[in-house]
């Protein structure tokens, strides 16, 4: 009617089929193919991320992964006359963080020198002038740190209370008279395990030791006890000394007769 009103000369009626219109199958297949192609890259990356290979992976951005370098214990005929790649330290070299500035703190010896700080043991027959005071500030935090380090490194042999009855000591006593199993070469004999009993902290020999000597024992070891300079830092070793003196005080009480004078400063804190 609208077309007639506008003066159309000839009108042809066109009908469309009823029902849902659908995308042609060729177009559908094209979309599916494109989707599958788009999945190839992320699936490949996912597989490379979670799969183990026997050969190096492809590095689109190599950065410094494959830089030219020499490995340890190798040689070169061009760089140095002795052909060694690993070079010795330049005389006087000090590793970062290992400069010894406080000799008494590092050694536990009054008036210590750099030689004392770099040595690993005290010469037999000599007795240095051991420190009789703490070169660090005695605080509750230092005590707590000493207890933590003691429970990690010392309690196994010396026991939680310093009585020398730690689990390692108890195990050694159990093995001391262990019978040897019969064999074709030797049978029925008894062997004895060589074991040095850890001393009690309340022994007179330990009670009367200066603080510096206790520190030196922790640092360099004594008899069967190894040194712990590599495992425990300087400040933490002094913290362990503080905790050892606290254990002595807890066992003997706070009287002057029961606690040596050199431990009074530490235990009062």
Residues 11 and 14: their CA atoms lie apart, in Å, by 10
Greater confidence (37 vs 121) lies with: 37
Predicted confidence (pLDDT) per residue in 53-111, tens digit? 888 777 778 777 777 788 888 888 888 888 888 988 888 787 787 777 888 898 899 88
Residue 113 scores a pLDDT above 50 = yes
The mean of the pLDDT values for the chain is 81
**pLDDT tens readout for residues 154-165:** 999 999 999 888
Query: For the whole model, what pTM was predicted?
Result: 0.57
Burial of 269 (0-12, 13-18, 19+ CB in 10 A): middle
Task: Write the CA distances from 31 to 3, 40, 167, 266, integer angstroms.
Answer: 41, 15, 72, 81
The 10s digit of each residue's pLDDT in 139-154 is 999 999 999 999 999 9
């Amino acid at each position: 009617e609208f077309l007639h009103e506008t003066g159309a000369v000839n009108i042809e009626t066109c009908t469309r089929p009823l029902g849902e219109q659908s995308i042609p199958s060729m177009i559908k297949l094209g979309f599916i193919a494109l989707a599958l192609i788009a999945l190839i890259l992320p699936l490949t990356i996912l597989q490379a991320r979670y799969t183990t290979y026997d050969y190096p992976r492809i590095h689109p951005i190599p950065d410094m992964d494959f830089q030219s370098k020499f490995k340890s214990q190798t040689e070169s005929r061009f760089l140095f006359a002795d052909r060694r790649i690993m070079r010795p330290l330049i005389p006087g070299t000090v590793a970062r963080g290992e400069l010894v500035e406080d000799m008494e703190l590092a050694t536990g010896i009054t008036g210590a020198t750099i030689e004392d700080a770099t040595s690993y043991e005290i010469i037999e027959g000599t007795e240095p002038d051991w420190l009789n005071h703490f070169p660090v500030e005695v605080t509750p935090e230092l005590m707590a740190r000493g207890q933590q380090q003691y429970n990690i490194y010392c309690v196994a042999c010396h026991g939680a209370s310093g009585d020398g009855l730690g689990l390692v000591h108890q195990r050694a006593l159990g093995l001391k008279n262990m019978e040897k199993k019969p064999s074709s070469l030797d049978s029925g004999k008894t062997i004895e395990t060589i074991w040095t009993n850890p001393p009690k902290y309340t022994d007179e020999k330990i009670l009367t030791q200066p603080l510096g000597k206790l520190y030196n024992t922790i640092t360099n070891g004594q008899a069967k006890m190894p040194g712990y300079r590599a495992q425990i830092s300087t400040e933490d070793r002094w913290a362990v000394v503080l905790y050892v003196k606290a254990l002595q005080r807890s066992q003997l009480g706070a009287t002057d007769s029961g606690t040596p004078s050199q431990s009074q400063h530490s235990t009062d804190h």
